[in-house]
Structure 1
Amino acid sequence: MSPRPVPNSRPAPSQAGGLPRGLLRLSWHWTALLLYAACGLIGYLIISAPPPSAELDTEGPRLTYTVPRRDLRMTITEMGTVESAENTELICQVPGRNTVTWVVESGAIVKKGDVLVRLDTLYMEEQINERSKYANWSRAGAESSKFNVRRLKLAVPEYRDGRFIVEMKKKEEALAIAQMDLRAAENELAYSVEMAARGYASQQEVDKNTFDVTQRQMVADSLKREIADFSTYTQKQELASLQGKLDVAEAEFAASDERAFADESRRDRALEQLKNCIVRAPRDGLVIYPSAAKWKTRPDISVGGAVHKDQVLLLMPDLKQMQVKVGIHESQIDRVTPGLKARVTLGGHTIDTEITSVANVARPGGSWTGNVVKYDTIIKLPSEAGLKPGMSAEVELIVSEHENVLTVPVAAVLETDQGAFCWVHKVQGPEQRALTLGASDDALIIVESGLQADEQVFLNPTAFVGTNEPEPSLASETPPEQTPPPPNETKTTS
């Protein structure tokens, strides 16, 4: 099939409005020039037109403030945390650093005797086995020394009253026999001498009997000296030796017993520490974690974490004695004293109370707090149901109350070395006024003199410094620094 021819829809040059192509292009150029000229004229008119007066424009930003006479309450508002005034602290009693293997959840309600924390006991069990071994060895040595002391205590009287007497009697018996032999020898010698004189005995027999007498005499003398030495020296030496051995044995027993007592004490402490690896609830109540430092990313106690001796593991707060702790900025702390009225808001519920204590030392600051120095302030709460530690509370401290006073915003006052000034809106122009100021907060200042009620003051006084008449352009270029609060109450958040 051959393609079907399509007729050309573009008109011929002679059909386009009946104008030649050159004249058509020229008309478009003139139209563009006219549009550009119109836009430029409109922009010039907008820029050169004077702006409306800012202080008279009620629908725009307000740059003037009508001075009222009102009752003013000056307050400091801070966010605080509810806590218990009386906490039962559960403290770690195990020395060193120990790993937490299990811990109860914060906010759990427990009964007396419930397990709250479990610590790793592997190292403690090894210590118990080691201490038990040394305690048994030491006790065995102490018992052996004790037996030796008893034996030596019996040895002293046994020798003094037993062996010494027996040996002395044996020596005395030997001496008596020797003396009897000596007398017999002497009699034999005397008989032989008499017989020799009569011619019946020889001289040889006399000499033999003389030798026997001399020998018997020497034996008797030796036994006498031995008995004297035995009773004088040998007895005392033996008694001293036995007494010395007894003293040594008693000292060894004391040392062994002390060593055994020390090892047993170490073992008993290890056993007690093993019991302390399980922390139980001392009473019924609520259990919470201690407040961790702001720079920490997790609580001080957690599964897998390490705890040390005397560390507070958990708290059991007394829910009948609750309080709020807030931090007061150092610039406001001089205005806060114990007994100051306070209003605490908890979830829409307001409680009227007072400050009970103000810290004398500021809490430590750091980069995590922006290096802001604050003082802990305690506000007592009445006993009410539903109060729990950790709840957020808005605390409004009523610093002072003033009746029927004139107030102006802080932005309307210019303080210099010559005093405080403001500019009052008059028909003829702004009028400078010297002011006597009273108490103030971050929003309003009490004016004691210098202004009258219902006068209007400018909120941008710096725009009129050094000028006699206000310049609307300057006034309109200066935005309001602060919107005044409602005429009943002002709050300061430090």
Structure 2
Amino acid sequence: MDSSASPKPEQPTASTNAAAIADLLGNPTAQQQPVGKSSRRGWVWLLVLLPLVVTGVFLSPRLLEFLPETNQTADLTGMPLYTVQRRNLQITVTEEGSLVSDENVDITCDVAGGATIIWLVDDGDRVAEGMDIVKLDASVLSENATAQKIAYEKARALMIQADKDYEAAKIAVEEYKEGLFKKDLRTAESNVTAATERLQATQNTLAYGERMFRKGYITPQQLEAQKSAVARAKLDLGTADIALDVLTKFTKPKMITELESVRDSAAARFESEKAALELENIKLERLEGELLKCTIKAPQDGLVIYANSRSRDRETEIKEGLSVKERQVILQLPDLTRMRADVEVHESKVDEISPGMPAVVRVQDLKFSGVVTSVSNRPESNWFSTAKKYVVGVRIDGKSEALRPGFTAEATIIVADLKDVIAVPVAAVIEDGKEFVCAVKKGKGFERRVVMLGKSDDRFVEIVEGLQEGEPVFLNPETVLGESLSRDQEQASEWSGRPNTNE
């Protein structure tokens, strides 16, 4: 058969291509329209559909969020698993702090008004009881003590004089009562007796003279003289009687009163000078005591620790030349046989700790057993952080010559020792809203499982409810459960808290 006679295949033209595109775009009349007009309409439809396709590609991941959850589309091959099992779980809280002594002997400045340090023993030196460890400036006190010594001696001299005057006054009273008065009384009585005798003698002479005058033996003048002698004797007797009466009724009480007044005044002056001397002595003893306080001796054997302090607005460094206040601590002598670690525990964990809990204390390369002795009820002031931490005291059992106050210590407090409980790594639990969930492997997929948590340490958490022994759980639940987590959770992360139960 002649090949030239066979019909040749028809070559496509521009008009046929445009008609085909128009037909695909849903225009049944494309083949009936002119070729140029059909081509232009095809390009218009292409420009309209292209933005819609791009928008669909961009929005498709977000539209998938509103599709029903599925646990069969994720590729779980090679993801780490953990088989749920029972184990012993020791719940601990580990924090760092520093060593302090349970018993410190504080060396303070006891000088009234404070003083200036002129010498002190080196920080960290070992001292023996009775050694000089601090010397304070005593120059002003020494001058004051010397002046006070002079004042004391003057007061003592005045007191001695007052004492002697008082003794003399007491003797004067007794002297008059028992000596001078009796002598004056006897003199007065003797005068009365003598006057009485003279009166009697003159009266006898007058009576004899009168007889003699009647007989003419004496003259009238002699008789008158005898009568005058009797009158004078009567006057002398009356004077003697008056003197005796004045002595007993007036002179004696007056003299006793005067002497007793002098005696009592001397006694009062003596008591005054005595009190003044005691006051001056107290002042002197106080100054001498202050002088002794300027040299501080070690009350016991021990290691010297400077009592440096630091506050928000200033830092105090104990050194020579520092002016210290009265009762300010200068040094400390800690008892190195009774040491403890004071560690700062965050407020989220402090409620789990109580006195009596066992602990392990690590200091450098040393390890000691210990026990919690105290939990502070107020947080420590920290000007550099807003985190609230509480000081927990852990007593160290045992002794070591290597321990020093201020050493960094790490205390591991055993909060609970759980036996044979279901536990999983903390990486297997994630917080989803108000729930804690795990991703449990089911065949080739997974199951979102809500669990109830118990206690935990830094590695494992107790599962109170929600998992069974032998079930496999994923160690990266965030990746596995990413699409099934709560939509209001902006960023899921590995759970690391310590709740006792689910919220």
Task: Pick closer, same or farther for the CA change 1:65–1:458 going to 2, 3 Å.
Answer: farther
Q: How does 1:31-180 map to 2 (within 5 A)?
A: 66=82, 68-69=84-85, 71-180=88-197
The one of 461, 467, 473 equivalent to 1:455 is: 473
Larger displacement relative to structure 2 (428-437 or 158-167): 428-437
Per the TM alignment, residue 414 of structure 1 is displaced from its structure 2 partner at its CA by 2.6
Are 2:274 and 1:262 equivalent residues in the alignment? no
Q: Which residue of structure 1 lines up, in the alignment, with residue 462 of structure 2?
A: 446
**SS of residue paired to 1:169:** helix
Q: Which residue of structure 2 lines up, in the alignment, with residue 436 of structure 1?
A: 452
Q: Unaligned regions of 5+ residues in structure 2, if any?
A: 1-53, 63-72, 498-503
Per the TM alignment, residue 277 of structure 1 is displaced from its structure 2 partner at its CA by 0.4
CA distance in 2 between counterparts of 1:242 and 1:322 reads 75
**SS of residue paired to 2:452:** strand
Task: Pick closer, same or farther for the CA change 1:302–1:65 going to 2, 3 Å.
Answer: farther
Which amino acid is the alignment partner of residue 278 of structure 2? F
Are 2:264 and 1:247 equivalent residues in the alignment? yes
Which amino acid is the alignment partner of residue 413 of structure 2? L
Per the TM alignment, residue 128 of structure 1 is displaced from its structure 2 partner at its CA by 0.6
**SS of residue paired to 1:314:** strand
Q: Work out whether residues 337 and 355 of structure 1, in 8 Å CA contact, stay in contact via their aligned partners in 2.
A: no
Q: Work out whether residues 380 and 391 of structure 2, in 8 Å CA contact, stay in contact via their aligned partners in 1.
A: no
Task: Pick closer, same or farther for the CA change 1:395–1:184 going to 2, 3 Å.
Answer: same
Q: Which residue of structure 1 lines up, in the alignment, with residue 432 of structure 2?
A: 414
Q: Work out whether residues 324 and 381 of structure 1, in 8 Å CA contact, stay in contact via their aligned partners in 2.
A: no
Larger displacement relative to structure 2 (205-214 or 252-261): 205-214
Higher CA-based Rg: 2
Larger displacement relative to structure 2 (403-412 or 192-201): 192-201
Which amino acid is the alignment partner of residue 439 of structure 1? K
Task: Pick closer, same or farther for the CA change 1:356–1:422 going to 2, 3 Å.
Answer: closer
**SS of residue paired to 1:331:** helix
CA distance in 2 between counterparts of 1:133 and 1:423 reads 94
Q: How does 1:205-224 map to 2 (within 5 A)?
A: 209-224=226-241
CA distance in 1 between counterparts of 2:97 and 2:486 reads 46
Q: Which residue of structure 2 lines up, in the alignment, with residue 481 of structure 1?
A: 493
Which amino acid is the alignment partner of residue 386 of structure 1? A
The one of 182, 207, 213 equivalent to 2:199 is: 182
Q: Work out whether residues 361 and 411 of structure 2, in 8 Å CA contact, stay in contact via their aligned partners in 1.
A: yes
Task: Pick closer, same or farther for the CA change 1:409–1:65 going to 2, 3 Å.
Answer: farther
CA distance in 1 between counterparts of 2:122 and 2:375 reads 31
CA distance in 1 between counterparts of 2:373 and 2:484 reads 47
Task: Pick closer, same or farther for the CA change 1:425–1:57 going to 2, 3 Å.
Answer: closer
Task: Pick closer, same or farther for the CA change 1:224–1:323 going to 2, 3 Å.
Answer: same
Task: Pick closer, same or farther for the CA change 1:466–1:399 going to 2, 3 Å.
Answer: closer
Q: How does 1:341-380 map to 2 (within 5 A)?
A: 341-351=358-368, 353-359=369-375, 361-362=377-378, 364-367=380-383, 370=386, 372-380=388-396
Per the TM alignment, residue 369 of structure 1 is displaced from its structure 2 partner at its CA by 5.9
Q: Which residue of structure 2 lines up, in the alignment, with residue 226 of structure 1?
A: 243
The one of 403, 418, 435 equivalent to 1:387 is: 403
Per the TM alignment, residue 141 of structure 1 is displaced from its structure 2 partner at its CA by 1.1
Q: Work out whether residues 324 and 393 of structure 1, in 8 Å CA contact, stay in contact via their aligned partners in 2.
A: yes
Q: Unaligned regions of 5+ residues in structure 1, if any?
A: 1-43, 468-473, 486-494
**SS of residue paired to 2:403:** coil
Please give the root-mean-square deviation of Cα atoms over the aligned residues, in Å. 3.9
The one of 402, 411, 416 equivalent to 1:400 is: 416
Q: Work out whether residues 65 and 458 of structure 1, in 8 Å CA contact, stay in contact via their aligned partners in 2.
A: no
Q: Work out whether residues 425 and 458 of structure 1, in 8 Å CA contact, stay in contact via their aligned partners in 2.
A: no
Q: Work out whether residues 97 and 344 of structure 2, in 8 Å CA contact, stay in contact via their aligned partners in 1.
A: yes
Q: Work out whether residues 112 and 280 of structure 1, in 8 Å CA contact, stay in contact via their aligned partners in 2.
A: yes
Q: Which of the pair has the greater relative contact order for Cα pairs under 8 Å at 6+ separation?
A: 1
TM-score, reference length from structure 1: 0.73
**CA-to-aligned-CA distance 1:158-208 (integer Å, 9 cap, x gap):** 222221222223223333333333234434543554455566767676566
Q: Which residue of structure 2 lines up, in the alignment, with residue 6 of structure 1?
A: none
Q: How does 1:8-47 map to 2 (within 5 A)?
A: none
CA distance in 2 between counterparts of 1:126 and 1:55 reads 93
Which amino acid is the alignment partner of residue 411 of structure 2? V
Identity over aligned residues, as a percent? Answer: 25
Task: Pick closer, same or farther for the CA change 1:271–1:459 going to 2, 3 Å.
Answer: same
Q: Which residue of structure 2 lines up, in the alignment, with residue 39 of structure 1?
A: none
**CA-to-aligned-CA distance 1:90-125 (integer Å, 9 cap, x gap):** 233322221222222211123444321111112211
Q: Work out whether residues 421 and 462 of structure 2, in 8 Å CA contact, stay in contact via their aligned partners in 1.
A: no
The one of 301, 304, 307 equivalent to 1:287 is: 304
Task: Pick closer, same or farther for the CA change 1:431–1:75 going to 2, 3 Å.
Answer: same
Q: Which residue of structure 1 lines up, in the alignment, with residue 51 of structure 2?
A: none
Q: Work out whether residues 363 and 376 of structure 1, in 8 Å CA contact, stay in contact via their aligned partners in 2.
A: no
Larger displacement relative to structure 2 (127-136 or 109-118): 109-118
Q: Work out whether residues 459 and 481 of structure 1, in 8 Å CA contact, stay in contact via their aligned partners in 2.
A: yes
Q: Which residue of structure 1 lines up, in the alignment, with residue 27 of structure 2?
A: none
**CA-to-aligned-CA distance 1:387-444 (integer Å, 9 cap, x gap):** 122110111112223445233538602353xx54456577897754332221245775
Task: Pick closer, same or farther for the CA change 1:58–1:139 going to 2, 3 Å.
Answer: farther
Q: How many residues align?
A: 426
TM-score, reference length from structure 2: 0.72
Per the TM alignment, residue 357 of structure 1 is displaced from its structure 2 partner at its CA by 0.6
Task: Pick closer, same or farther for the CA change 1:65–1:119 going to 2, 3 Å.
Answer: farther
CA distance in 2 between counterparts of 1:396 and 1:175 reads 115
**SS of residue paired to 1:357:** strand
CA distance in 2 between counterparts of 1:356 and 1:184 reads 119
Per the TM alignment, residue 281 of structure 1 is displaced from its structure 2 partner at its CA by 2.4
Q: Work out whether residues 357 and 378 of structure 1, in 8 Å CA contact, stay in contact via their aligned partners in 2.
A: yes
Q: Work out whether residues 325 and 377 of structure 1, in 8 Å CA contact, stay in contact via their aligned partners in 2.
A: yes
**SS of residue paired to 1:365:** coil
